[in-house]
């Protein structure tokens, strides 16, 4: 595996692969890799001849008071994991390489509607930062396919809409959430949990399952959302939201919808956790 910081080198290598008739899969990450990231790499390998991974802690998607400075940076360990999974090229740029005019002088990309609800309402500017850096990375790497995790379901929806509206020639794939044995969705932020909080954390997924069961029993959306919030508070979480949405576009659902998703965001101590569960009502 090659590790490069230069945009020109990345473009040159990808152009060589394309000239040879090889397809390129891409997995953008912020590093501190775990089994969930590696599952994305494996899926990209199924869809493409070559796999490129990026590691870049994007400052634009961190809000005021969030953990940019403390976000774990584990490049050498990440490199070892990527090498063992057959990645062809790692793009690990500096901030100056991605934002040569500074982070305050970037042409931002917004996806109206999707970026202002749920996570967007609680983390203003977050999805604008995500869309901006992903568009930049797509322009640099020029992949044929890109893979994102369904754990960040709203992020996946934002990127799909951006690619469609901007006419970016990359096919987007979502990969199922990878969970620990006790149900907790894998996340780099799980490392912030204390031992006691880690024991409690799987309750979030259990509450999502409670909502799914209630929907199949015919309970109402608002009733289930309220009950789920109460369960989380009683368990020791501070929930930001539990919301049932249409899976296709995250719009407010109507009775009789066949494909739903319940999304939740909570604080457990100082750690913010998100999770979701797709629900087939057919």
Residues labelled as active-site residues = 37
79: phi then psi, degrees, rounded to nearest 5 = -60, -45
State the sign of the Cα–Cα–Cα–Cα dihedral 177, 178, 180, 181.
positive
CA distances from 172 to 106, 256, 276 (A): 24, 28, 19
Tell me which residue of 117, 178, 140 sits closest to 9, measured CA to CA. 140
Q: Which residue has the tokens 């910081």?
A: 5
Do residues 111 and 158 make contact, with C-beta atoms less than 8 angstroms apart?
A: yes
Paired with 25 in beta bridges are 51, 145
Cα 161 to chain centroid distance, Å, stands at: 15
Q: In what order do the strands lie in the sheet with 271-280?
A: 238-246, 259-268, 271-280
C-alpha span between 100 and 105 (Å, rounded): 9
C-alpha span between 70 and 200 (Å, rounded): 23
Strands (E), 75-203: 89-91, 145-149, 171-175
**Which DSSP string corresponds to 196-256?**
HHHHHTTHHHHHHHHHHHHHHTT--HHHHHHHHHHHHHHHT-EEEEEEEEETTT-PPP-TT
């Amino acid at each position: 595996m090659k590790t490069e910081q230069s945009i020109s080198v990345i473009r040159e290598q990808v152009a060589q692969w394309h000239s040879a008739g090889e397809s390129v899969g891409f997995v953008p990450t912020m590093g501190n890799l775990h089994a969930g990231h590696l599952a994305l790499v494996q899926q990209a390998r199924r869809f493409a001849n070559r796999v490129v991974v990026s590691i870049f802690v994007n400052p634009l998607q961190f809000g005021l008071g969030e953990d940019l400075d403390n976000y774990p940076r584990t490049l050498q360990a990440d490199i070892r994991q990527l090498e063992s999974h057959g990645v062809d090229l790692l793009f690990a740029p500096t901030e100056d390489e991605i934002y040569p005019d500074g982070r305050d002088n970037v042409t931002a990309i917004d996806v109206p509607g999707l970026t202002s609800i749920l996570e967007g309402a609680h983390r203003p500017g977050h999805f604008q930062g995500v869309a901006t850096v992903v568009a930049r990375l797509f322009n640099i790497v020029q992949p044929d396919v890109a893979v994102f995790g369904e754990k960040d379901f709203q992020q996946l929806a934002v990127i799909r809409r951006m690619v469609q509206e901007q006419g970016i020639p990359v096919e987007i794939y979502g990969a199922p959430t990878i969970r620990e044995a006790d149900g907790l969705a894998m996340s780099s932020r799980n490392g912030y949990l204390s031992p006691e909080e880690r024991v409690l954390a799987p309750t979030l997924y259990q509450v999502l399952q409670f909502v799914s069961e209630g929907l199949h029993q015919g309970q109402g959306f608002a009733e289930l959302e309220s009950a789920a919030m109460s369960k989380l508070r009683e368990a020791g979480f501070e929930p930001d939201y539990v919301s049932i949405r249409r899976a296709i576009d995250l719009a407010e659902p109507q009775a009789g919808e066949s494909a739903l998703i319940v999304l939740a965001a909570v604080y457990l101590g100082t750690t913010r956790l998100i999770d979701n569960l797709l629900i087939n009502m057919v």
